[in-house]
Amino acid sequence: MKKSESVHSILRNFEIRPKKKLGQHFLHATPTIKKIVASLAITRGDTVVEIGPGPGVMTPFISDAAKSVIAIDADADMIEILKSRMSDRKNVKIVYSDILKVKLPDLIENKKRVKIIGNLPYNISSQIVFWMIDSRKNISKAVIMVQKEVAQRLAAKPGGKEYGILSVILQAFARCSKLFDVSPNNFLPPPKVTSSILMIEFSDPEDKIGSEEVFIKTVKAAFGKRRKTIRNSLLESKDQLFSAVKIDSALTNLGIDPKRRAETLSVKEFIALSNLLTQ
């Protein structure tokens, strides 16, 4: 395997083209690839899960730094390329699967927490973030590439239009920060939008969440009607989760003005609110 082999030549040799229906845009710029891998701070004891490795341009750089690599792709053509190109790398395990169907404990030796890296398909990037949240007990850190607009939403702070459901739920369980942008000319074919690299570090919430199910439902209900007040959004949620008495009591106890809108509440306030609504 030639580590420096270009995406163009790899795809040409295997007579394969990027699939538009899978949202495939393959990163080809080596300096950017090295910068992304370095951002994950991989050590010799780490197991790294690479989501959507494609033709395996980033995989060898991860393999050089990690104890083991689990490369997961849902495209059979990419799996065949990976098997051919990674055949001499004994620490790379290739898995043909939709990442959203993967259960990490089934893949991890010694049940040790893994690190995640990957260029996420734009069309399912939010779903993959929710998958990581659900799998967070098995993940220590992730460095992912997403559409710039999605990165801004994930890392957003209260008060802005980007702050929403994804921001609150992710930041309840992880520290999230945008590292740098990646321009379209770093990809084959170039996407129409700029991408961003995001670091996510999972940890236990500083404030205990009484019921994760109620917390997530509270956040989704609160942002369900962004133009309405927090009280009315919760009261008029489609599932009618909480009574007016319970909502008013919780808001009063927490000193939250019922006329505030969801985007002004901090993650800490959402956790406290859902805990009272759980009681």
DSSP track, 61-72: HHHHHSSEEEEE
Q: Which residues, listed in sequence order, are joined to residue 114 by a DSSP beta bridge?
A: 139
pLDDT confidence of residue 2: 55
**Angle of CA points 273, 274, 279, to nearest 5°:** 100
- For the chain, the residue count is 279
Rounded CA separation 279/245 (Å): 13
- For domain 212-278, give the CATH number: 1.10.8.100
Q: Which single residue is written with the structure tokens 């050089």?
A: 64
CA distances from 205 to 138, 186, 208, 221 (A): 15, 36, 6, 21
Indicate the domain borders of the chain.
7-202, 212-278
pLDDT confidence of residue 218: 95
pLDDT confidence of residue 65: 97
Reading the block at residue 204, the tokens are: 């236990």
Averaged pLDDT for residues 93-107: 96
Averaged pLDDT for residues 135-161: 96
Cβ–Cβ < 8 Å for 205, 271: yes
Determine if the peptide bond prior to 258 is cis (ω within 30°): no
Mean of the per-residue pLDDT values of the chain: 92
Residues 171-207 pLDDT 10s: 999 999 999 999 999 998 888 999 999 999 998 887 8
pLDDT confidence of residue 1: 57
Among the listed ranges 16-25, 59-68, 230-239, which one has the minimum average pLDDT value?
Answer: 16-25
Rounded CA separation 165/168 (Å): 5
Domain 7-202 has CATH 3.40.50.150: yes
pLDDT confidence of residue 150: 96
